Each structure stands twice: as C-alpha cells, then as structure tokens.
Amino acid sequence: MDVDLRKLRYFVAVAEQLHFGRAAERLHIAQPVLSRQIRALEEELKAQLFVRDKRRTELTAAGEQLLADARPLLAAAEALRRRVGRAARGRDTFTVGFMPGLIVTTAVRALAQRHPELTVEVVRTTWDDQVEVIRDGRVDVGYVRLPVDQRGLRLRPLLTEPRVAVLPTEHRLAGKEVISIADLAEDHLLQPPDAVPEWRDLATELREGRRVPEPAFHSVEEKLEHVAAGQGVVVLPLSVASFYTRPDLTHATVRDIADNQVCLAWDSARRSPLIREFVAIAEG
C-alpha cells in the first residue's frame, strides 16, 4: 500500500490541533473535506486514528504511532523536494545551521575556499527548530546543542562549555562569579524544568505545586527581556550569555550542573561528500 503524503499532512494537522475545525482552518480546506480524507486514511490503514465526541478529539494508540512516524516521513519528503528544487534551478548550495553563541565562520569559509563554485549559506536556528531544519532540508548540517531528538540523525561531538545563570542586576546573587544550583531553588526558571534537571529536583515552586508555565519564547532575546524585567532566571551556555551582554543583566557560572554539549548533526540517510568534508573541517 502506498501512503498518500497529502493525507498524512492532513492527519498531522488534526493530531496537533486535536480539533477538526481548527485543523481545517490551518490547512485552508473545508472541514467536511478534511473529515473525508481522515476517514479514507483510516480505511487505507485499517485502523481508527481518532476518537471523537461532541466535546473533544483524541488520538488512539494507532494514531499516536502514526503521528510519531509521520512527522519524520513528511520532513524527509520536504527535504527531498528542496534538494531537487535547488538542483533543478542550477543552484549548487550548502547550508549550515548554527545555534546562538556559536561562531561557524572558520569552517564555512574553509569549505567555500575549497569549492569556489559552491554557495555556502548559514541559517541561525533556535532550541525549537535546530533539528527540524536538518530533517526538512533547510540545512545540510547543523551545529546543535544537546539534548535533541537524535532519531534519523548522525551526531559528531565538537565541544562542551559551562552553563551560567543569567540574572537581573538587582538579583540577590548578582556580583557572584560562581554559584550552586541550590542557590536558585527559590527562583522561577523561565525554561521547561527538564532543561535543567538539577534545578527541577530542588525547585521550591515545583515542590509546592505553584509553578506557572513559562511563556512560549521564540528567541534568546525574548528570554532575556523577561529576565531583565525580574520575571525569573534562565540557564544558558556561557557563549550565549557572553554574546548577549547587556547592562541590566549579569551571569554567574553554575558549578554543579552538566556542561552544554555542542555537536555537528546531519541526516543519517544522506551520503553527501560535501557533508563528510565539512564534518572533517569542523572537527579539525
């Protein structure tokens, strides 16, 4: 049986929204059309994907499995489309993704010098999309900060660096060069607790059940604005905190948490000589 990628996209939209109406709006199609397509997909797969009633829509076990498998499949299809499109337009390009705080100029310049006919581009990524841009073909390789979902990727460790707590200048710990994670137990962390498990295991607001979910930040700059406003603290790699230095913020090394690991990552299914060459350059 051939799986229809369009139906898979429709399915993922409903699975992410858990609402047929909102999914139809996102896809710019009529809701009855979307419902028919999902029913057709269920018939093709011989599995019920959703349980619906008047109040809610939920994924079945089969739906959960399909969602886990469909996302990387759609990303791979999009990556294929991008690469074929570039080839058809005669654009010989190589794109490198990089996270904030990382400088990739030396490796990028070295590859460009070796291949004058090649256009080498760079794309700044975020915690939310550093892996997504590899899977969907927007970048050929990416400098990523762990942890990431490593499924379908190859990773090559490059370096580690300490992490620091970024604080407003009026914070009680401001001025200290080194602190313990226990010193932040009373503070509100403007990150998911799992991002700093050492803090999660000590945090007073978690123990007392009064944690307010952190806002959905889209950049380092947004996080730092909230820190400067006194709404909480963040833990960042040292290079990131140093790059975004500003007069109303300070930072202190946290001595008893794990360092941040930086790796080079690429799609494990690709066999590109340019990827191998760039990895060798970056490691050197």
Given a cut of 80, is residue 89 above it in pLDDT? no
Whole-number pLDDT of residue 82 = 75
pLDDT class of 136 with cuts at 50, 70, 90: confident
More confident residue, 154 or 218: 154
| 226 and 274 share one domain | no
Whole-number pLDDT of residue 216 = 82
| 153 and 167 share one domain | no
Given a cut of 70, is residue 10 above it in pLDDT? yes
pLDDT class of 114 with cuts at 50, 70, 90: very high
> pTM of the entire structure?
0.71
Given a cut of 80, is residue 90 above it in pLDDT? no
User: Domain containing 136 — which CATH number?
Assistant: 3.40.190.10
Whole-number pLDDT of residue 80 = 77
| 145 and 277 share one domain | yes
Given a cut of 70, is residue 101 above it in pLDDT? yes
Whole-number pLDDT of residue 282 = 96
| 121 and 59 share one domain | no
Given a cut of 70, is residue 71 above it in pLDDT? yes
| 104 and 241 share one domain | no
| 132 and 196 share one domain | no
Instruction: Write the Ramachandran bin of 101: left for phi over 0, alpha for psi from -120 to 50, otherwise beta.
Output: left
Low-confidence winner among 5-9, 74-78, 87-91 (lowest mean pLDDT): 87-91
Provide the edge-to-edge strand list for the sheet that holds 153-161. 119-124, 93-98, 141-145, 260-267, 153-161
228 φ, ψ to 5°?
A: -60, -30
| 253 and 211 share one domain | yes
What would the two tokens of residue 37 be?
């397509």
| 31 and 58 share one domain | yes
Q: In total, how many domains does the chain have? A: 3
Does residue 86 sit within a domain? no
Answer yes or no: are the C-beta atoms of 121 and 96 closer than 8 Å.
Answer: yes
User: Domain containing 53 — which CATH number?
Assistant: 1.10.10.10
| 279 and 152 share one domain | yes
| 183 and 253 share one domain | yes
Does residue 242 sit within a domain? yes
Percentage of residues in the chain having pLDDT higher than 70: 98
| 132 and 254 share one domain | no
Does residue 110 sit within a domain? yes
Does residue 83 sit within a domain? no
Q: How far apart are CA 264 and CA 118, in angstroms?
A: 20
Average pLDDT over residues 161-174: 97
Given a cut of 90, is residue 170 above it in pLDDT? yes
Does residue 196 sit within a domain? yes
Which residues form the domain of 129? 92-159+261-283
Q: What is the mean pLDDT of the chain?
A: 91
Query: For the chain, what is the largest distance between any 2 Cα atoms, rounded to a whole number of angstroms?
Result: 64
Answer yes or no: are the C-beta atoms of 218 and 141 closer than 8 Å.
Answer: no
Given a cut of 90, is residue 86 above it in pLDDT? no
pLDDT in tens, 149-159: 998 899 999 99
Does residue 69 sit within a domain? yes
| 247 and 171 share one domain | yes
